[in-house]
Amino acid sequence: MAKDKKKTSKLDSVASLCKRRGFIFQTSEIYGGLNGFWDYGPMGSQLKKNIRDAWWQDIVVKNENVVGLDASIIMHPRVWEASGHIGGFSDPMVDCRECKKRFKADNLCEEQGQELIQDGKKFQLPEGIKCASCGSDDLTEPRSFDLMFKTFVGPVEDDSAVAYLRPETAQGIFAQFSNVLATSRQKLPFGIGQIGKAFRNEINPRNYTFRSREFEQMELEFFIKPGTDEEWHKYWVQKRLSWYESVGLPLSSLELDEHPKEKLAHYASACTDVAYAFPFGVQELEGIAARGNFDLSRHQEFSGKSMEYFDQETNERYIPHVVEPSAGVDRIALAILCEAYTEEWIPKGGEGEVIKVEDADLGKRAPEGYEARTVLKFVPKIAPVKVAVFPLLKNKPELVEKAREIFEELQEYWPCFWDVAGAIGRRYRRQDEIGTPFGVTIDFDTLEDNTVTIRYRDTMKQERISCDELLPFLMKKIR
């Protein structure tokens, strides 16, 4: 129990900082919010952009056999019949008759160390499952709940106008497979990457942004020759792990969860989840699946259009197989925030050791002789703001002018922060809380010898550097 309390408190600390510093807000907060929907503020929107850019760079830009796509959110409803989502994309739901709370049945069982019993499309709760909210065992039988958001296209709201908000971005890629192949002159193996919004009417959105009803996915469909599935699946698992490390999630914080063969969908030959040790448990960030030719075959069947590939090397015609790394931007952003979130007690006056605050002590007052600092230790390429520029005094026009010159030069390259207000120590702390890796202070010496003070967020060390070296120095560090 005590363990759980400790676990909740780290997520609470992260959420509170995210609100205070403009990372994440409840959507439509002024109207009381809407469960399962979130808005990303000035810092959060830039953080998410950096995550998307890092993925796009690693997956699309740096692989000449991967191309990009930006498909529409609403597609022809037949797409979802072919993919199996219509009528098949649902979660088992149970209600507590006592407190009226609603749960995703598989999660409820898992949290209580059991497994939901499944027989084809029918579900049953194992013995002893209780309501996670009030502890009652008066629960309804699990029943399927459709996760697709429905809408209507055009002015008439009848059955012929029904459409769906996409529950995943992948199907946009499969539906455009032939057009992309014909226009990009790619040969197998090749991939199509896409980033975009997806919508699922989740039964029980929770754990902050982890399970939302509107979220963003980054998906790659990597088309391959049948028979090479295993080797490409392994390749993408390793490649994705290195990417996670590069954005600030060390391997020690990640777990690979390989799905046992008997739990795979009938068409899949492998599926491995990349999971992160969140404060609320180890949970999925990405699924990497070898899906055979299921999706393309289904679209061929439903559309009547060929999805075959002509292999010039072997003179064969076949429907390619696919390996799909499918990641969620919002979950990765939350993992990065949790990983970066640090509280420290630093000795007043600067002498002595900095103490890293343990999770159990987060939010506590610093001991005598120390002061607390909160810092987001983002890797530079993910940090929303890369450099903050501070003229030492705001009422000295010559300092402000020189600082502004430096600020505007750096702004050409990165999001930078201009801060003239308050004591310099307080200005540093504000930047620590949004994770800005570098601070540049312009003082009277700058006017004399053309040097500035550069301050490092993590060590708080400071050094003088010539203004002429500043840009190349930061270029190297931020890359």
By beta-carbon proximity to ligand ATP, the closer residue of 246 and 411 is 246
Q: Figure out which of the listed residues 108, 268, 285, 392 binds ligand ATP, where binding follows CB under 6 A.
A: 285
217 binds ligand ATP (CB under 6 A): yes
By beta-carbon proximity to ligand ATP, the closer residue of 106 and 308 is 106
Output b/e per residue, 105-121; b: 16+ Cβ within 10 A.
bbbbbeeeeeebeeeee
CA nearest 89: which of 77, 100, 80? Answer: 80
By beta-carbon proximity to ligand ATP, the closer residue of 92 and 437 is 92
Strand 190-199 relative to strand 66-69, pairing: parallel
Q: Figure out which of the listed residues 58, 221, 229, 286 binds ligand ATP, where binding follows CB under 6 A.
A: 286
CB of residue 76 to ligand ATP, shortest distance in Å:
21
208 binds ligand ATP (CB under 6 A): no
**Residue 142 DSSP class:** P
221 binds ligand ATP (CB under 6 A): no
CA nearest 359: which of 341, 336, 379, 335? Answer: 341
Q: Which stretch binds ligand ATP (CB under 6 A): 15-23, 242-250, 279-287, 359-367?
A: 279-287
CB of residue 285 to ligand ATP, shortest distance in Å:
5
Phi, psi angles (nearest 5°) of residue 256: -100, 130
Instruction: Tell me the residue number closest to ligand ATP, measured at CB.
Output: 328
**Cβ atoms of residues 369 and 404 within 8 Å:** no
**Cβ atoms of residues 254 and 275 within 8 Å:** yes
Q: Which two tokens stand for residue 308?
A: 């075959």
Neighbours of 180 (CB within 10 A): 18
Phi, psi angles (nearest 5°) of residue 245: -60, -40
As a whole number of angstroms, the distance between CA 431 and CA 83 comes to 46
Sequence-separated (6 or more) residues with CB below 8 Å from residue 262: none
CA nearest 215: which of 102, 326, 91, 68? Answer: 326
Q: Which stretch binds ligand ATP (CB under 6 A): 22-30, 41-49, 210-218, 421-429?
A: 210-218
**Cβ atoms of residues 73 and 215 within 8 Å:** no
58 binds ligand ATP (CB under 6 A): no
330 binds ligand ATP (CB under 6 A): yes
Q: Which stretch binds ligand ATP (CB under 6 A): 11-19, 125-133, 285-293, 402-410?
A: 285-293
CA distance to 23, 71, 387, per residue, from 293 (Å): 40, 21, 47
Q: Figure out which of the listed residues 211, 321, 381, 386 binds ligand ATP, where binding follows CB under 6 A.
A: 211
# binding residues, ligand ATP (CB under 6 A): 16
48 binds ligand ATP (CB under 6 A): no
As a whole number of angstroms, the distance between CA 49 and CA 372 comes to 30
By beta-carbon proximity to ligand ATP, the closer residue of 207 and 411 is 207
Site string for ligand ATP, 159-198 (x = CB under 6 A): ---------x------------------------------
Q: Which stretch binds ligand ATP (CB under 6 A): 209-217, 302-310, 351-359, 461-469?
A: 209-217
Interface residues with ligand ATP (CB under 6 A) are 168, 200, 202, 211-212, 215, 217, 284-287, 326-328, 330-331
